[in-house]
Structure 1
Amino acid sequence: MKITDSDVIRFHLQVIHGINVKSVESKTERLFASGAKVFGVPLENLSRRFIPEFGLVPGFLVDACSFLLERAGTVGLFRKPGSLPRIKSLRAKLNRGEACLSTAFAYDVATLIKQFCRELPEPLIPAEIPAALLKAQTLDSLQDRISALQLLSCLLPARNSSCLHYLLDFLSKVTQRCEENLMTSSNLATVFAPCLLPPPNKQEMSEGRFELRILVLRTFIEKPQMFGVIPKAVMDSMGFLINCPLLKDAHSKKHSLKVLWSVKTVPWIQGKTKVRPAVHQRRRESNLPRRPTLRRSVGLEVFPNIAFFRACMSCEDSSPAAAILDALSPSSKQPSPNRIKRDMRLSLFPGLGQGQTASSSVFSAVGKLQAASWSKRISL
């Protein structure tokens, strides 16, 4: 299975922030040409220019933002509407490929930018992302909200990310002259929220949800440098996830994601390798012999010279010294396990060999040890 950047980013969002994001469907390039038309045309069919810091950006957006950047001090820019007859004339000229922005009014060009974003067949922010953006804005700490928004911005397709990043960077430059134009980041976010984050249904049209959209765009306008930039921690984790042993045994993408998301730690961020062993490794370890239980340990490990204790109590007629030499000699026969256990009890508790009753405390303790079930005995 091939792990992509989006898989790693969605994994971080799930584990760290608890945000589930569906995979953004990749749109195939359309083969038809749109000519010089600008409005209502997909991004891949527009005439685009390569901007080193952003990538391929539609030519109309580059010309319009460059034109307005020189007039960024205009009061109420993007808030005050332009003239409808002039805007209609400009649209017709732009769709014919005419260069007409140099003589236009600032309010008219600003309105055309909003119409351009609103009339795209596919929104700049794909349908899988807005719900996650709003959820990210409800996180507790400011650092978590910014981190989640940054990760979500990295899930946009390349052409959408380039265009939106360029627009947000331009709006950030407009706010730098807010003392002149009276357009703060909050005002610009309010104006562009219906264009970039339109509500998909009536339930999303509430005032509270609209405020969340404003906060999302306000964060991007105030921090355009973080848009589409993968954090270093996520970059460092990509090598770990690609070589993760949990994915090597997976046979399908669905199964592998379940196995991957079952890991609740993030070892590549913490600098530790807390990885569960693979399935075949756990099976191999389960086949290894178990450690001896208490019953065996007491007889053979705690008292290794059990023959010595047996010899002390073996024969009443022979002397103890002769019995010890007989027991320790190499030629002596090995006693049976049952006799070893019996003789060990006699050596430790000699009173039992003289007919001591079962009511004694010592016998009761030994009897409890013998009566315990095998599964409950403690292993050393």
Structure 2
Amino acid sequence: MPEPPPSPGPDPHRVDLPAFEPKQDPLGVTLIGDLAQGDMGRIRALAHIELTALFDAYSIVYSRPKRRKKVKENGIFGVPLETLVDQDQKRSPSNCKVPIVFQAMITFLEKEGLSAEGILRVSGADSRAKQLRHDLEEKFYQGLFSWGDCSPHDVATVMKQFLRELTVPLLSYEYLDAFPQISSIPKTLEQLKALNLLILLLPEENRETLKVLLRFLRAIISRSNQNKMGLNNVAMIMAPNLFMGPAPSPGHRHDRQVLDLEAELKKAAGTSAIVKMLVHYQDVLWTVPSAFVAQLRHQYTTEAQRRSKEKLLSRLPWKKEKDRSEIYKKPLPSPDQPEPQDGVIRVQAPHLTKSSALVQLDQFTTAADVVAKFKYDENEAADSQGHEKENRPGEVFTNDSIVHKEETNGHAVRNPKKAHYAGDTDHLFEVGGNIAERCLDPRTKMLDLYHVNPLAEWVIRTRPGR
């Protein structure tokens, strides 16, 4: 009688984490990159208060390692992220907060390494990795470096060295020890909340570089059937590169060494669990809590009311018998800020042919619906072929999506080939009122948001990668 086939072992690629999605909000989910830099400064202050309260509730205490007094200011390896980004921007001004060399390594690995068996786990040859480091240092910023003959395993080895040797850790000096402590929180939702707060608190360069890394790690896991690298493997291998601790000093007694080993094993398990969560829940973690956005709006409203009262106070004669109650009455709208027509917004699109339009909102109108009014309409274009519309010199038909302004004997010629329409990277922005600036989630219910911020301006802008 033939022996039964052996029972399969545990699936190494199985994800043993519950699924969570960002809670849908009628005002739209706010991603970290959606807010203006000034607003993010206020959000960080709120996140610090919230994290302190959360850690106090679970009696979590984390240390803050001392910063190195001297750091390298030149080169690639062992240089702070902030320094690398500053140098990149001096060479080629841009808004990118990820070092170009790190992005180049990730881009190469995404093209050549996702299907390589054991990527990240199998180390490259020491001699080749050493030569690759040398070539990057000497040739990359000279424009002389080529990835042509590089092995994915060698590049992955050097990429991990880059992360380990950062003089300011990727997870920052301030919070490097806070991340592993999250493992002691018993509830997964509370763990996610703490991780979300820590990511909000990271310096921008660290947060954006971490985001690029985590997207790459998720891409590796998506090819786990080819590269044999599931979430557990990836987390276990990458954790030491993000949570490197000081090397143990010699001369410890045996019992102390055992205790240190137990502590290190416990820490390794905790850091691996955190990396798993960072990779698996990255879409949830890179959001701004809706409660924080509401507090942000309240701050702006309170500050505007205070300025209005102070302005009114400065204009009043200072008399003891004066009834000061008038100072605290809500000021009437000024002539330059009239009450907007209920349910109608004017949308600006400075970079498009259709530069503005009035949009009537209803309970179903979303931000995506508003942007769609500025996209190419084949039916409208077909109906308009071969027609001309008389126009006074200098007039622009802002309510016609296919008109391109050309001076031809006082006419504006309809020419869809020259027109500029909204594309997939164009989004609606909420500007002013009770917020500085916010790129809107396409699912945002516009009538709800209009009632929350009736004095906002609405502008279509390009924002790649939302």
TM over 0.5: yes
Indicate if the aligned counterparts of 1:139 and 1:145 stay in contact, CA closer than 8 A: yes
Q: CA deviation at 1:21?
A: 7.8
1:40-97 Cα offsets, whole Å, 9 max, x none, are 12222325489x9x94211111111111112301110010110111111111111012
Q: Which residue of 1 aligns with 2:31?
A: none
Indicate if the aligned counterparts of 2:71 and 2:79 stay in contact, CA closer than 8 A: no
Q: Which residue of 2 aligns with 1:344?
A: none
Q: Which residue of 2 aligns with 1:130?
A: 176
In the alignment, does 2:138 pair up with 1:96?
yes
Indicate if the aligned counterparts of 1:24 and 1:156 stay in contact, CA closer than 8 A: no
Match of 1:237 among 284, 292, 295: 295
5+ residue gaps, structure 2, are: 1-38, 249-259, 307-466
Match of 2:213 among 133, 149, 167: 167
Match of 1:57 among 95, 98, 101: 98
Indicate if the aligned counterparts of 1:12 and 1:234 stay in contact, CA closer than 8 A: no
In the alignment, does 2:109 pair up with 1:68?
yes
Indicate if the aligned counterparts of 1:101 and 1:109 stay in contact, CA closer than 8 A: no
Distance in 2 (alpha carbons) for counterparts of 1:33 and 1:198: 22
Q: CA deviation at 1:4?
A: 3.4
Q: CA deviation at 1:180?
A: 0.8
Indicate if the aligned counterparts of 2:73 and 2:79 stay in contact, CA closer than 8 A: no
5+ residue gaps, structure 1, are: 249-380
In the alignment, does 2:83 pair up with 1:45?
yes
Q: What letter matches 2:290 in structure 1?
A: K
Q: CA deviation at 1:239?
A: 4.4
**1:7/1:81 CA distance change after superposition, 3 Å:** same
**1:11/1:211 CA distance change after superposition, 3 Å:** same
Match of 1:114 among 160, 165, 172: 160
In the alignment, does 2:241 pair up with 1:199?
no
Indicate if the aligned counterparts of 1:65 and 1:170 stay in contact, CA closer than 8 A: yes
In the alignment, does 2:263 pair up with 1:221?
no
Q: CA deviation at 1:223?
A: 2.0
Q: Which residue of 1 aligns with 2:232?
A: 186
Distance in 2 (alpha carbons) for counterparts of 1:88 and 1:31: 22
Q: Which residue of 2 aligns with 1:7?
A: 45
Distance in 2 (alpha carbons) for counterparts of 1:137 and 1:242: 36
Q: What letter matches 2:44 in structure 1?
A: S
Q: CA deviation at 1:134?
A: 2.2
Distance in 1 (alpha carbons) for counterparts of 2:276 and 2:107: 21
Per chain length, whose mean CA-contact separation is higher, i.e. which structure has more relative contact order (CA < 8 Å, sep 6+)? 2
**1:192/1:91 CA distance change after superposition, 3 Å:** same
Q: What letter matches 1:80 in structure 2?
A: V
**1:128/1:205 CA distance change after superposition, 3 Å:** farther
Distance in 1 (alpha carbons) for counterparts of 2:292 and 2:133: 43
Higher alpha-carbon Rg:
1
Q: What letter matches 1:127 in structure 2?
A: Y
**1:233/1:109 CA distance change after superposition, 3 Å:** same
Match of 1:158 among 204, 210, 219: 204
1:176-220 Cα offsets, whole Å, 9 max, x none, are 001111111221111111111123576595212211100111111
Relative to total residues, which structure has the larger strand share, 1 or 2?
2
Q: Which residue of 1 aligns with 2:128?
A: 86
Indicate if the aligned counterparts of 1:21 and 1:128 stay in contact, CA closer than 8 A: no
Distance in 1 (alpha carbons) for counterparts of 2:280 and 2:131: 34
Q: How many residues align?
A: 239
- For normalisation by structure 2, the TM-score amounts to 0.46
Q: What letter matches 1:162 in structure 2?
A: E
Matches within 5 A, 1:209-358: 209-240=267-298
**1:21/1:140 CA distance change after superposition, 3 Å:** closer
1:9-65 Cα offsets, whole Å, 9 max, x none, are 12222334536788999x9xx99962xx21112222325489x9x942111111111
Relative to total residues, which structure has the larger helix share, 1 or 2?
1
Q: CA deviation at 1:144?
A: 1.2
Q: CA deviation at 1:173?
A: 1.0
Q: CA deviation at 1:112?
A: 0.5
Indicate if the aligned counterparts of 2:72 and 2:79 stay in contact, CA closer than 8 A: no
- For normalisation by structure 1, the TM-score amounts to 0.55
Distance in 2 (alpha carbons) for counterparts of 1:209 and 1:244: 45
